[in-house]
Structure 1
Amino acid sequence: MRTACIVGGGVIGGGWAARFLLSGWNVRVFDPDPEAERKITAVLDRARRTLPMLYEVALPAEGTLTYHETLQEALEGAEWVTESVPERLDLKHRIYAEIQGIRPDITIGSSTSGFTPTELTQGAAVPARIIVTHPFNPVYLLPLVEVVGKEGGDAKIIEEAREVLSGIGMYPLYIRKEIAAHIADRFLEAVWREALWLINDGIATTEEIDNAIRYAFGIRWAQMGLFETYRLGGGEDGMRHFIAQFGPTMSFEWTKLMDVPELTEELIDTIADQSDAQSGHMTIDELAGKRDGNLVALIRALKQQGSAAGLLVQEHEAKLAPQDPVIAPEKLRTIERVIPCDWTDYNGHMNESRYGQLWSDAADTVMRMVGADAAYIEGGNSYFTVETTTRFLAEAHAGDRVEVRTTVIEGAGKKLHLFHEMLRGEEVCATCAQLLIHVSLETRRACEPQGDVATHAAALAKAHEGLPKPE
C-alpha cells in the first residue's frame, strides 16, 4: 500500500485522511490536538458509511490509520503530505521548514483556501515541492481539488500530484496562474457577500437564501456549472444570444459585490439567530449526516445520467471493477457492494425493487463470463429475463456490505437458469431463481446463442453440477 502523511486533523484534514484511507492508502496523522483522534474518527465513520455508496463495486481494501506524536515519525515511509493546519502563514512556514528538513524530496499539498504558492513558499528550502491542493468539505465525497503550483515551477511535480489525486477518485482542477482564493472560493465569496447584504437590508433570512440556492440554481450548477447553464438560457442561438439579451443587465445595480456590510454585533447576532432557527433542531453530526445522504443521492442520480460528478464516479468505478470470476466448481461471487441510502424505502430497509437491480447486475456478470458482453449485445443478441422468484429472508439497510453468490443451474440452448444468494457476511438475506432466454435484438424473439456463448454457458452449468440445488 502507498502511504500518505496528514498534517492537521481538523474537518479538512480528517476528510483527507478518510479519502486516502478508503482509497487503499495507509495514513499517518500528525496533530498535537489531544482531540484529533476523536474528531477524525467521527469524520471517518461518516465516510465509511457514505463513500462506498457511490460505487457499484468494492473500494480497495482499507489502509491502516495511525497517529504520531512527531512529524518525523509521521513522515516515515510517506510519499505524499497533505497540510491542513489553520490559515496562518507563520504556522504553515514553520511546518514546511520542519517537513523539508526531514524529507526534502516529498511533495506537500496545502489545503489552503486563500494563500498562493508564492506566499506559501517564502523562505522554503525546496519551494517547488510546496503546492496548493485545495479541496472542499466533505473531502471524502466532493471530488474537486484545486491544484496550483508556483509560476515557473516544476511541471512534473504538478503532474505527479494530479495523478495521486485522480487515483483516489478526485478531480484535480489545475489553475495555471496564481490568484488569491484560487477559483471556486472567489465565486463563494461573491455569493457570501451578497447574502450578507440581503440579510443586513432585511430582504431575506438565512433559510430563504438557502432555499433560493438549493431549490433552483444550486441543482443546475451541480450538474452543468455556470456557463453551460447560461448557454441554455440563450435558447437555440446559445451563449451569444444570452449575452446579447442579458449583458446590459450588468450595468444595473442588482448586487453590491464590490462592497460588504460591516459585520457589526447586531448583524452577527441576526445571522446567528436566523441560522439557529433554521437548523438548530439538529446536531452538527445529524446535519452532516443529512448532507452526506443528500450528496450520495444526488451524485448517484448524476451517475445514472452519466453527467458531472456522477460521470467521474463511473470512470473511477471502471478502474476499481474486479475481474469476472473464472469457471470453477464453486459458486460465483458476482456482486460485492454497499447498499446505498437511495435503495431504502419508508420502512427503512432495502426496497424490493432494488433486489431486482441486484439480481440483474449479478446476471450481467454471468453474461459477460459466457461471452454475452457489450460487444455481443451491440452485435444484436442478448439474454432477457423471463422469470424471477425472490425470497426475502432478512432485512437489509443502507450501509450494509453485501455480496451475491450465483449458481448456474442450466445453460443449455436458449436457457440460462441462475440461482442467486445475497449475503451479509454469512447470513443469507435473500435468494432469487432467475430464468433468462437468449433473444435476437432484431426480431425480439428467442433464438439460439451465437458463437461460443452456448458452449461457455454449458461449461458453467457443468462445473456447478455438484453444487446443492435450491429448493
Structure 2
Amino acid sequence: MIGGGVIGAGWVARYIHNGIDVAIFDPDPEAPRKVGEVVAGADRAYARLTNAPQTAKGSYRFASSVADAVKDAELITEAAPEQTALKRKIYAEIEAAAGADVPIASSTSGIKPTDLQAEMKHPGRLLVAHPFNPVYLLPLVEIVGGEKSSEAAMTRAEEIFSEIGMKPLRIRKEIDAFVADRFLEAVWREALWLVKDGVATTEEIDDAIRFGFGLRWAQMGLFETYRVAGGEAGMRHFMAQFGPTLSWPWTKLMDVPEFNNELVDLIAGQSDAQSGHRSIRELERIRDENLVAIMQALKGQNDGKGWGAGETLRQYEDRLYARAHARAAAAEHDITKPLRLHETTVSPAWTDYNGHMTEFRYLQVLGDATDALLRFVGMDEAYNASGRSFYTVETHIRHLREVRAGKPIHALTTVLMADEKKLHLFHEIRHGETDEVLATGEHLLLHVDTKEGRACPAGEEIQAKAKQIAAAHEALPRPEGAGRSVGQKK
C-alpha cells in the first residue's frame, strides 16, 4: 500500500479485515496514527456489518521505503496525491523492486491510466481501481484500463476485489474522472452556485439529498428511479414528459462560479455552522453506522437475495460462511466425540446494556453451528442450489451463563438421531477460555424439496455421513438437558 491517507488507510482496513497482510509506505510521520484511527473505525463498522464468520484478521506494518513495501507483494495499491509526475516517480521505484507481473492498482479519482503508464517499463500491469470513501464499507470500485493495461491484470484485480466484498465496475472507455466522479462533479458545481447565489445553505442542500433523491439513488440509481417515475408507461413516458426541460435554463452546469477566497469562506463558514460541533472521527462513526444500517436493510430485500449494495454484502457473507465451514469440514475431527465445527468471538454489537450477549444472538450462534454441521455432512452451495435443504422445525434453547463482548466462544455438536429425512442435533455453546457451558440448543431438522415445499429424503452421501456420526455419538452419554421442555424442573 503506497499512501496512507484517507483512501489508503481505508484500503488497509478492508484488506486486513479480509485476512490480507499489508505493508504500507507513507513518508508522513503522522501516517501510523491516522491509519490506526481509520482501522479502529473499521473495526467498529465490521462488528455491525455482518454476522458471518470473519476471516482471521490480517496485519499491517509500515515500511521504510517504497521498495521495502512492495518487494514481496502480490498486489500493489497506490493512493498517492493526485499528481501525475509524483505517481510516475513512484511507479519507477515500484518497478525497480517488485516482480514484473505484480498488478499495480491506482486509486486515482480522475487521471487516465494511459497517462500514468507513459514512463513504465511494464505498463500492462497498471490499471485504475478507484474506490469510494470509506473504502472499507462502500463496495463500488471503478476498474479502468489504459491503452497498455493487460486483460490479465484487469481480471485479476476484479477477482481480488470481488473476493473482499466489493462491486468492481469495469469502465468501458477511458475518460477523465471515469463515471461516478463525473456525476459528483456535476452535483458539486450546481451546489456551489446555489450557495453562492444565496438560494440554499450547505445544510439545506445536504437535507435535499439525504431526505429525498439520495435515498432513491442509494438503492436504485438514476435510470431505474426515473423508469419507475414514468409510471406504467416506463422510461419512454418519462423521457417524453421531462425531456423538453433539458432545454430550459434550470442549471448552471456549463458555467462555474469563480473559485475565490470569498466563495471558500462562505462554504466553509456554513459547513462549520452545520457540523462544526462534531469531530471528524465522530462524523466518520455516524457515517459508518448509517451505511451499515442501509446495507443491512438492503441485504434483506428481494426475497432475501439482497438488493444493490445489499446483494453485494449478501454474496460476501455467503463467501465468508462457505470459507469458515469449509475450513471446519476440512479439519480432522474425531466423530466419536461431540464435533467442534463453529467458533467465533462475541461482537460488541451483540451485547445489551449490561455488556452481555443478547438472547437472540445465542440462537444465531446455534444456527451457525447447525450450518457448520450441515456443511460437514456435505450440504454445500451446489446442493442448496439443486433445490434441497434442511429446515429447522423445532428448537429448544437453555440460557445458562452470561458472556461479554470480546470473549471467544465455540459450539460442540452431538447428533442425537439421523434418518433419511430428519436430523436431531444438540449444541453446547462453551466459553473459549473457561470451557463453561453458556447455553444449549436442541434442534429437529427436516430435509425438504424447496421447490415443491415438502419433505423428501436427503442425498445418499449426506444421509450416510449423518448416520455415521449419529451411530458414533450413540456411545456418548446423553447430553445434560437433551429432551427437556420449557419450565421442566431439574
Which bracket does the TM-score occupy, shorter chain normalised? 0.7 to 0.9
Q: CA 1:26–1:364 in structure 2 vs 1: closer, same or farther (change >3 Å)?
A: closer
Counterpart for residue 408 of structure 1? 414
The TM-score with structure 2 as length reference comes to: 0.82
* 1:94 alignment partner in structure 2: 89
TM-score by length of 1: 0.85
Match of 1:3 in 2: none
**Distance in structure 2 (CA, Å) of the matches to 1:287 and 1:202:** 26
Query: What stretches of structure 2 of length at least 5 have no aligned partner?
Result: 482-490
Q: Distance in 2 between matches of 1:460 and 1:154?
A: 50
Q: Which residue of 58, 81, 86 maps to 2:53?
A: 58
Q: Deviations over 1:295-325 (max 9, x none)?
A: 1222122222211122222223333322264
Q: Deviation of residue 329 (structure 1)?
A: 3.4
Output the amino acid matched with 2:80: V
Contact 2:113–2:145 under 8 Å retained in 1 = yes
Deviations 1:211-242 (A, max 9, x none): 22222322222222111111111222221122
Q: How do residues 275-314 of structure 1 correspond to structure 2 at under 5 angstroms?
A: 275-305=271-301, 306-314=306-314
Partner of 2:13: 18
2:239 pairs with 1:243: yes
Cα distance in 2 for partners of 1:129, 1:447 equals 53
Aligned with residue 108 of structure 2, among 105, 109, 112: 112
Q: Identify which of 129, 137, 144 aligns with 2:140.
A: 144
Distance of 2:3 and 2:455 partners within structure 1: 63
Give the aligned partner of residue 466 of structure 1. Answer: 476
In structure 1, what is the Cα distance between the partners aligned to 2:162 and 2:120?
27
Identity of aligned residues (%): 46
Q: Which residue of 2 aligns with 1:163?
A: 159
1:468 Cα deviation from its structure 2 partner: 7.5
Matched with 2:252 is: 256
Counterpart Cα distance in 1 of 2:448 and 2:2: 59
| Superposition pairs of residues 384-395 of structure 1, within 5 angstroms | 384-391=392-399, 393-394=401-402
Deviation per residue, 1:316-346 (Å, 9 max, x gap): 3333322264672344345445667876667
**Is it true that 1:418 corresponds to 2:413 in the alignment?**
no
Q: Is the 8 A contact 2:357 2:402 kept in 1?
A: no
Q: Does 1:69 align with 2:71?
A: no
Q: Is the 8 A contact 1:327 1:463 kept in 2?
A: no
Specify the code of the residue in structure 2 equivalent to 1:144.
Answer: L
Alpha-carbon distance, 1:348 to partner: 7.1
1:115 CA drift (Å): 0.8
Residue pairs, 1:1-16, within 5 angstroms: 6-16=1-11
Q: Secondary structure at the match of 1:125?
A: coil
The residue aligned with 2:200 is 204
1:33 aligns with 2:43: no
What amino acid does structure 2 have at the position aligned with 1:26?
D
CA contact (8 A) 1:419 1:470 kept: no
The alpha carbon displacement at 1:387 in A equals 4.2
Q: CA 1:257 to 1:220, structure 2 compared with 1: closer, same or farther past 3 Å? A: same
1:265 aligns with 2:275: no
Q: Paired residue for 1:362? A: 369
Whether the aligned pair in 2 keeps the contact of 1:297 and 1:342 (CA below 8 Å) is: no
Going from structure 1 to structure 2, the CA distance change for 1:192 and 1:392 (only over 3 Å counts) comes to farther
Output the CA distance in 1 between the equivalents of 2:124 and 2:385: 51
Q: Secondary structure at the match of 1:7?
A: coil
CA contact (8 A) 1:437 1:446 kept: no
Structure 1 residue runs without a partner (length 5+): 1-5
Does the Cα contact within 8 Å between 2:15 and 2:164 map onto a contact in 1?
yes
CA RMSD for the aligned pairs? Answer: 3.4
Range with greater deviation from structure 2 (161-170 or 418-427): 418-427
Letter in 2 for 1:469: P
Give 1:192 shift: 0.9
Q: Contact (CA 8 Å) 2:430, 2:439: kept in 1 or not? A: yes
Q: 1:342-361, aligned counterparts within 5 Å? A: 351-361=358-368
For the 8 Å contact 2:356–2:402, the answer to whether it is kept is no
> 2:72, 2:98 within 8 Å by CA — same for their partners in 1?
no
Letter in 1 for 2:442: Q
* Greater alpha carbon shift after TM alignment, 427-436 vs 34-43: 427-436
Q: Distance in 1 between matches of 2:63 and 2:259?
A: 40
User: Contact 1:336–1:404 at 8 Å: present in 2 too?
Assistant: yes
Distance 1:424 1:240, change over 3 A: farther
How far apart are the structure 1 equivalents of 2:63 and 2:423?
A: 59
Distance 1:415 1:160 in 2: 42
Q: d(CA) in 1 for partners of 2:440 and 2:157?
A: 46
Whole-Å separation in 2 of the counterparts to 1:421 and 1:213: 46
**Cα distance, 1:437 vs structure 2:** 6.0
Q: 3-state DSSP class of the match of 1:411?
A: strand
Amino acid at match of 1:216: G
- Using the TM superposition, give the Cα deviation of residue 263 of structure 1 relative to its aligned residue in structure 2, in angstroms: 3.2
Preserved CA contact (<8 Å) 2:366 2:411: no
Contact 2:344 2:410 in 1 (8 A): no
CA contact (8 A) 2:369 2:413 kept: no
CA distance in 2, matches of 1:156, 1:446: 46
Partner of 2:120 in structure 1?
Answer: 124
| d(CA) in 2 for partners of 1:383, 1:148 | 44
Provide the C-alpha distance between the structure 2 equivalents of 1:146 and 1:447, rounded to a whole number of angstroms.
46
Larger relative contact order (Cα-Cα within 8 Å, sequence gap ≥ 6): 1
After superposition, the Cα gap between the structure-2 partners of 1:369 and 1:75, relative to the gap in structure 1 and judged at 3 Å, is: closer
1:141 and 1:425, CA in 2 relative to 1: closer, same or farther beyond 3 A? Answer: farther
Say if 1:376 and 1:411 are closer, same or farther in 2 by CA, change over 3 A.
farther
Q: 1:273 to 1:435 in 2, by over 3 A?
A: same
